[in-house]
Amino acid sequence: MTLKNKTILVTGGAGFIGSHIVDLLIEEKPKQVVVFDNFVRGTRDNLKQAMKSGLVKIIKGDVTDFNQINRATKGVDYVFHEVALWLLHCEENPREAIKVNIEGTLNVLDACVKNKVKKIVAASSASVYGDAQIFPTTEDHPFNNYLFYGASKVTDEHLLRIFWKKHGLDFVALRYFNVYGDRQQYDLAYTSVIMKFIDTLDRGERPIIYGDGSATMDLVFVDDIARANILALKSEVTNQVLNVATEKETSLKELLNIIADLLKVKDIKPIYKPYNKQLVVRRCGSAKKALKLIDFKAKTSVKDGVKQVIEWRSEMEAKKNKK
């Protein structure tokens, strides 16, 4: 499938992952890329490079308003759906989680059907597995989730299947594992452990590790996540959920050491605090199904990815200091 001369909508397109998808879409020579975002977390700065192409149209709107997303979907061939509240935000605001992550997704799907969209690629999450029992975790692993965020993603996947069965809306849902990379917010309460480690070490403070440092993540660089989205859309695959994972585990201790080494910080003395019981202690996803169905394999090592994050953050800090 070619995306040349097609009109493609990206919900949350000014956000962390969405903006990277937009960047890759420009390379596909589409007719237009429509970015739909409420700009609560997304920024126009994230779209600076893509805007130079002249192919990007920005619409400020919210997926919780059906009329807004319906208007934005008119004339659209394909959709990437990236809008979602973050995990801990969902735990603190469950009603908002349901409104944005579930009702918002229902609005997007309804708009897709009404406007005859051909296919949607939607962001799901490894959170649907909860505390997995099998590693690497495959897509047929039972749901073992006990969080509002994970529950919203399980529901979204079921909605996608329903719309495929009832309306013939082709879809692929991508279960992201631990995504990180440039453009990830690092100056807000809801931020990744990578950003927290970098900030703490940069300030010359002792980093905090929750638990004993043995908890692991399957860290996937955002460029790989974006590429998986493009491959999923261009493929003939439909009615499928796929992990976007590396099959490699990185413990918190290992991650801290990688960051410290890149920052040339020695004699790290972490502060250990009790692990958040809401969070899982191990993540490692099977990448075999994605390789087989959409020819996706993650390319970026943790060290190379973190290095890019550090360089990007330095640039952002330099810009801040100039103001």
Complete DSSP assignment for 78-144: EEEE-----HHHHHH-HHHHIIIIIIHHHHHHHHHHHTT--EEEEEEEGGGG-S-SSSSBPTTSPP-
Q: Is the peptide bond before 136 cis (omega within 30 degrees of 0)?
A: yes
- Pick the catalytic residue: 78, 129, 149, 180? 149
149 is catalytic: yes
Tell me how far apart the alpha carbons of residues 237 and 273 are, in angstroms, rounded to a whole number: 44
Rg of the chain taking only CA atoms, in angstroms: 19
Residue with tokens 């529901």: 155
Q: How far is CA 149 from CA 14, 50, 89, 168, 236, in A?
A: 21, 30, 8, 27, 29
With vertex at residue 21, the alpha carbon angle to CA 69 and CA 9, rounded to the nearest 5 degrees, is: 25
Contact status, residue 210 vs residue 49, Cβ threshold 8 Å: no
Contact status, residue 190 vs residue 86, Cβ threshold 8 Å: yes
Tell me how far apart the alpha carbons of residues 74 and 69 are, in angstroms, rounded to a whole number: 9
| Sign of the alpha-carbon dihedral angle for 49, 50, 53, 56 | negative
Tell me how far apart the alpha carbons of residues 15 and 317 are, in angstroms, rounded to a whole number: 19
Tell me how far apart the alpha carbons of residues 30 and 7 are, in angstroms, rounded to a whole number: 6
Give the pairing type, strands 78-81 and 7-11: parallel
Nearest C-alpha neighbor of 7 from the set 33, 36, 26: 33
As annotated, the active-site residues are 149
